[in-house]
Chains A and B, each alone.
Chain A
C-alpha cells in the first residue's frame, strides 16, 4: 500500500512539475513587451494664460491684463503684461478668459469654469494703495458669485496691486478668500495705475 502511494505521488509530482513548467512558459511568452514609443500627453487642465479685459463705459481705451506661462509648471516664469493705465472716475466692464495654450488650438478653460459655476469662484484682491472697487456681475446656479464677469470702478489717481484668484471648490457663500478654503486654480497679480 505504501509502495502504491509513493508511486502515485511520484506520478503526481511529475504531472505537477510539468504543469508548472507549462504555466511559467506561458506567462513568460505572453508578457513580452512591445517596443512602441509612448504617445505624447498634452496637459488637458493646465491654465497657461489668464487675460482680464477691462472695457470702459466711456470713450477711453480698453485695458488688458495678462499672465502667460506657456510651459505650465515648468521652470519658465509667467510673462505678465498690462496694456495701459486706467482712467480715474471710470466704470469698466471686466471679463476674465482662461486658456490652455499648451495645445493647438488653445482650449478655452473659462467654459469649463462656467459649466461648473457652483464649484468655482474668482476673488479680486485690491491693494490698499489702489483706489478701485469691484463688484460681481456673473453668478452661479445658486445665485452666489462666480466672477468671470465683474465691474471695476476707479476712484482717484493711485497705483497698487490687483490680484485675481480662481478657487476650485470654495465654500459658498463666503466672505472672501480667507474663509473660502478650496484649491487655487489660478492666481495672477498685476501692478496697475489709475491716472
Chain B
C-alpha cells in the first residue's frame, strides 16, 4: 500500500513536472551575413547538459524544457562560439545567428573592404605586405612603381609621385585608411605624405570607378589600408631594420598589435628614417639627404554587427633638394644643361640645408559601423587632416633660414555610407560626404603667396549597384555628384591683372587696390557628375574578362586657378587661369586575365579621352632683373591617352618563376596635334624568381628593368642671349634622355628563432651594374645623373 502511494506520488510529481516542462525550443541556426543555414552547429543548453546538432536544414529541437530563462551556447567549426539568453514560454521558436566565415570576417573588419570590393569591374593591382616590406627604406611612390602602368614622377630620389596610365597629381586620388589624402597633391614636387611602413595593403585602381571614394580620379585611385587585425586574444609585432650603402643611412620601423577575442584591438606603429647625400656612379648628389619620422596608432572594437575605430597618424619628412638644381634664370639653366656634372659637388654629409622641404601631415579619423539586418551596413566617419608644407630657398640677409613657402591646409570630412543587399545578387552602395577645407598661406615668409588663402566646401553623394546576373557574369553601374565651392582671397600683381584683361572680365571681385597689387575675392562653383559602368565575365575557371567605362570630372585645383609668379624649384614663371572649368575624362579599360598557378597573365588596353584637360606649357620669355625666365601658362585643351599594360607570370617548376611587365602609354593634345609632356616612356620588366619553401623560404630574384627613350614629346625649347658668348643659345629642356637598363637583385631567407618569433634576412642590390643614367620623368635630369649602385640589408623580426 505504502509502495502504491509512493508510486502514485512519484507519478503525480512526475506528471506535475512534465506538465510545466513539456515545452520545445526549436529553430534554425543561420549566418548573420547572408542568412545561409548553418549545418552541424552544436547547440547546448547550459546547466542541463542537453546538446543537439543542427540538421541539414540548420534546424535544432530541444524537448522537455520548462518555462523559464535558459542560457544557450551555439558553436560551429567556422564560427565564433556565442552565448544567447532565451526565454522559454510554451513551445518557443528561436533563430540563432552566428558570425560565419571567421577567417574571411577577420579580413573585412572595420576598415570595411575585403579584397576586390573597391571596384568589381576593373582589375585591381595590389602589392602585398611582403612586397611592401622590400620598400621600407624607400617611399610609397617607389613601391607603386613596381606595378605595371605606374611610373614615377621624381624630383630627386626622395620626392616620388605616382603616375597612373600617364596621369598624376590631382588626377590620382590617394585613399589612406578610408581617408582621402588632402596633402597639397597638386604640385609636381609634392610627394604623397604616407609612410610606406604603415601600409598593410596597397591597391591601385586604374580608373575612376571607385566612386565611393571620389569622382575626380581622372587617372586612378590608390588605396592603402592598415594590416588586418584578427579577432582573437593575441599580441604580435614586427620590427624591420634596413640599411643602405647609397645615402649611408637606413630606417627602423616597428609595429605592435594587441587584440582580444571580444573584438577590441589596438595597433601602435612608428618609423624613423635617415639618409645622407645619395650618389650616382661618379659623384655625390649634394644636399639630397632625407629625414623622416612617422607614428600612428589605432584603437577599435570590431564585432560582427558593429564596430568603432579611432586612428591617428603623424608624418614628418625633411627632404634636401639637390644644391646644383637651385638656379636663377635661363642663363643658369644653359650652364647647368651644358655641364656634364652638377655645378655643385661637395663632400658627403648628413646635413640637410636649403633648398629643402619640410612637411608635416596629421591625420585623425573616427569611424563606426553598424549592421542592420534588413538595411545593411551603415558607416559614419569623420576625419581631420592638417598638412603643413615648408619650402626653404637659399635666402639672404634677415630672411636667411626663413621658409619661402609656408602653407597650411586643414581638411574636415564627414561621410556616411550604406552598403546593402537589395537581394541575393544585387548589392547597393550609397553614401554622402561633406568636406570643409581651409588653406592658410603664412604671410611672414616675405614671399608673395604661391597658393592663396581659400576656403573650399564640397558636397558629394554616390550610388553604386552591382548585380550578379549569374555565377559568371556581373555588371556594375554607379553615379556620383560633387559640388565644390571655392571662396578665395588672392592678391594679384596689377601688371598681371591688367595683362590678362581681368580688370574688364572680373571687376566685381576686386576688394581693394594697392600700389602694385590688387586684392580680389574669387568665388567659384563647380558641379561634377561622374559615372561608372562595367561588367565582369568568367570564361571557364581560369579566364576572366573585365570591361569598365568611367566618366570622371575634376574641378581645377588651386594651383591651376591661381598660380601667378616665379616657381623657384622649376625655374620658371607660372600663370594659372581664373576662368577654368572642370575637366572631364572618359576612360575605357578592357582587361583579359588568366589566373592559373602555372601561367597567369593580364592584358589591359585603355583609352582615356579628356575634355578641357588642363595642361601647362611655355608661352613666352619674361625678362626680369634676375635674368630671363620661361613663362608657363595653364590652358585647357582636349587630350587623349591610350596605352596598354601587360603582366605575365610563368612557373617553370614549383621553385622557379618568371615574371614579365610591360607598360605603354601615349598622350596627345588633340587640337594642337602634339604629344603631351611628361608621358612615361615605354618600359619593360623581366624577373626570374627562385623560391624554395623547404630551404627556409629562400628567395632569390634577379630583375631587369628596361626604360625606352621617350620619342614623342612637345618641343618647348627656347633661346636665350648669353652675354659671355655674345650669342643666343638654345635651351634644350625638351629632349628626353637616352634609354637605360638596370639590373636589380633581391634575396631573403627565413630563420625561426622559436615558435613565436621569426627572423627574416634580406639582401638586395639595386642598379647592380652601376649604370649612369638619367630618367625623363625626373626633374633633376637637367642637373645630375640618377642613383648609382646601392646595397641594401634588411632584417625583419616577427614576434
Contact = CB atoms under 8 A, between A and B. Distances in A.
A20 B397 CA distance: 49
Given A3-B71, A37-B521, 13 more contacts: A2-B83, A17-B308, A17-B368, A23-B366, A33-B455, A38-B453, A40-B519, A41-B491, A45-B399, A49-B625, A73-B626, A178-B335, A187-B627
B629 interface: yes
Given A5-B262, A169-B394, A181 B308 contact: no
16 contacts: A3-B83, A13-B301, A28-B412, A40-B514, A40-B519, A45-B446, A46-B625, A69-B624, A71-B493, A71-B494, A73-B629, A161-B726, A168-B396, A184-B626, A185-B328, A187-B331
Contacts of B723: 125, 127, 161, 163, 165, 187, 189
A13 B445 contact: no
A40 B368 contact: no
Contacts of B496: 71, 74-75
Interface residues of A, number: 69
Contacts of B453: 38
Contacts of B344: 171, 181
A38 B448 contact: no
Interface of B: 71, 73, 82-83, 85, 262, 301, 303, 306, 308, 310, 324, 326-329, 331-332, 335, 343-344, 364, 366, 368, 382, 384, 394-397, 399, 410, 412, 414, 438, 441, 443, 445-449, 452-453, 455, 489, 491, 493-496, 499, 511-512, 514-517, 519, 521, 565-566, 573, 622-627, 629, 631, 721, 723-724, 726
Contacts of A115: 397
B596 to A, nearest CB: 45
Contact of B329 (A50, A112, A182, A187): A187
A21 B573 CA distance: 47
A178 B724 contact: yes
Contacts of B326: 183
Contacts of A119: 396
Contacts of B447: 41, 43-45
Interface in A75-94: 75-78
Given A41-B443, A74-B493, A116-B397, A127 B622 contact: no
Contact of A27 (B382, B449, B515): B382
A31 B396 contact: no
Given A75-B499, A183-B327, A187-B626, A45 B396 contact: yes
Given A75-B495, A102-B516, A184-B329, A127 B726 contact: yes
Contacts of A182: 343
Nearest to A71: B495
A155 interface: no
A6 B85 CA distance: 11
Given A41-B491, A73-B566, A78-B625, A112 B327 contact: no
A47 B397 CA distance: 13
A135 B368 CA distance: 76
Interface in A91-105: 102, 104
Contacts of B622: 73, 75, 77
Contacts of B85: 3
A185 B626 contact: yes
Of A40, A78, A189, the most chain B CB neighbours within 10 A belong to A40
A24 interface: yes
Contacts of B395: 45
A151 to B, nearest CB: 20
B198 to A, nearest CB: 22
A191 B425 CA distance: 81
B724 A31 contact: no
Interface of A: 2-3, 5-6, 9, 12-13, 16-17, 20, 23-24, 27-28, 31, 33, 37-50, 67, 69-78, 102, 104, 112-113, 115-116, 119, 125, 127-128, 161, 163, 165, 168-169, 171, 176-178, 181-189
A50 B515 contact: no
The 9 A-B pairs with the shortest beta carbon distances in the complex, nearest first, are A184-B328, A2-B83, A163-B723, A44-B446, A181-B343, A112-B397, A71-B495, A187-B627, A74-B495
Contacts of B627: 184, 186-187
A38 B724 contact: no
Nearest to B73: A2
B36 to A, nearest CB: 24
Of B301, B438, B625, the most chain A CB neighbours within 10 A belong to B625
Given A5-B262, A16-B308, A45-B396, A183 B328 contact: yes
A41 B446 contact: yes
Given A38-B453, A40-B514, A73-B565, A186 B626 contact: yes
A168 B323 CA distance: 13
Nearest to B514: A40
A104 to B, nearest CB: 7
A182 B327 CA distance: 7
A155 B326 CA distance: 38
B724 A125 contact: yes
Contacts of A72: 493, 624-625
A2 B626 contact: no
Contacts of B328: 168, 183-185, 187
A27 to B, nearest CB: 6
B495 A20 contact: no
A41 B448 contact: yes
A175 to B, nearest CB: 12
